[in-house]
Amino acid sequence: MTYFDFRIPGHRMQVIAADGVPVKPVEVDDIRIAVAESYDVIVELKKDTLIYVEDMGRSGKVYAKLGADPSAKVVLPKPYPYEPLTMVDMGMAMKGMKMHTMRGQKHKNMPHKKPIPITPLPKSEGIAWTMHAKSPQYRLDDPGVGLRSVQRKVLTYADLETPGIKNRYPDREIILHLTGNMERYIWAINGIPYYESKPLEFYYGEHLRVTFINDTMMNHPMHLHGMWSDVEVGNKILRKHTVNVQPGSKISMRMDVDATGKWVYHCHLLYHMGGMFREVKVLS
């Protein structure tokens, strides 16, 4: 259960789909794949190709060689350096610091003048909400810790667009804080773990905006069953079933609530899922 940094040294990859949905093609060198995400790529292979994958924590690697000659020597690339988390990953904006992560995201996410009504949700500032991101930012073009100093093109959500999806004005918005307590290893949403929570209520036919604020210093791949998550990338839309929420960041998405019944919404990291989990009831 970790994130993997995927590359094919000496090759560029053309990304053509994210989570199984076609995107406008984009060329990259590296892809960080969050748990449960998937990317389709087209690669023109050269002779004796190496597929090389490192885990995000830089504790291991796995590789495979593609080629006709089994005796061909494998030359492994230098592993990427270990980078510590920064203030940005704690959700703090630092004055004077180069916020490359802000580029192109200056509230383009909110092009509408009329404010979107926010439905208040229960919160509990307690044992399951000990960390707070004081100034969470949209960081769609942030390659993430461990890849920021890499001088190669790393895929980010800011590079991706799903064509043909109408950017509708949302009927309402809900804000979900991803929260936790690292000492006790408790994970929750809005400070309330699943086992103490009530279901989230969506209404059939509505167009919902969901904003995640990650108050923790870990990535959370958030996965909703039954409906697509249409991530706001500036004024563009990226359709996904699993949305990575970077440490100390925020991200907004749209949902066409087009499936009745009961669904689940959860972090896809097994160790977080027990608490960072909600039942969703779609009411008709």
Could you tell me which stretch among 4-12, 124-132, 198-206, 268-276 binds Cu ion (CB under 5 A)?
268-276
Cα→Cα distances 152→86, 125, 149, Å: 20, 41, 9
Total residues at interface with Cu ion (CB under 5 A): 4
Interface residues for Cu ion in 184-223 (CB under 5 A)? 220
Tell the smallest beta-carbon distance from residue 132 to Cu ion (Å).
17
Residues 115 and 18: their CA atoms lie apart, in Å, by: 30
Looking at the Cβ atoms of 7 and 223, the one nearer to Cu ion is 223
Half-sphere exposure of 133 (CA within 13 A, CB side): 30
Looking at the Cβ atoms of 52 and 265, the one nearer to Cu ion is 265
Tell the smallest beta-carbon distance from residue 37 to Cu ion (Å).
13
Tell the smallest beta-carbon distance from residue 212 to Cu ion (Å).
11
Residues 227 and 240: their CA atoms lie apart, in Å, by: 9
Print the binding letters for residues 224-263 with Cu ion: x by CB under 5 A, - otherwise: ----------------------------------------
At 63, give phi and psi (nearest 5°). Answer: -145, 160
> What does DSSP assign to residue 154?
B
Instruction: Report the phi/psi class of residue 117: left, alpha or beta, with left for phi > 0 and alpha for psi in -120 to 50.
Output: beta
> What does DSSP assign to residue 273?
H
How many Å separate Cα 51 from the centre of its chain?
23
Tell the smallest beta-carbon distance from residue 271 to Cu ion (Å).
8
Looking at the Cβ atoms of 109 and 242, the one nearer to Cu ion is 242
Tell the smallest beta-carbon distance from residue 133 to Cu ion (Å).
15
Residues 210 and 230: their CA atoms lie apart, in Å, by: 10
Location of structure tokens 């208040």: 120
Select the residue interacting with Cu ion from 239, 266, 272, 278 (CB under 5 A).
Answer: 272
Looking at the Cβ atoms of 105 and 219, the one nearer to Cu ion is 219
- Strand-pair partners of 280: 200, 263
Is residue 267 within the footprint of Cu ion (CB under 5 A)?
Answer: yes
User: DSSP string covering 164-175, please?
Assistant: T---PPPSEEEE
Looking at the Cβ atoms of 257 and 267, the one nearer to Cu ion is 267
Tell the smallest beta-carbon distance from residue 35 to Cu ion (Å).
9
Question: Given the rule CB under 5 A, which residues bind Cu ion?
Answer: 220, 267, 269, 272
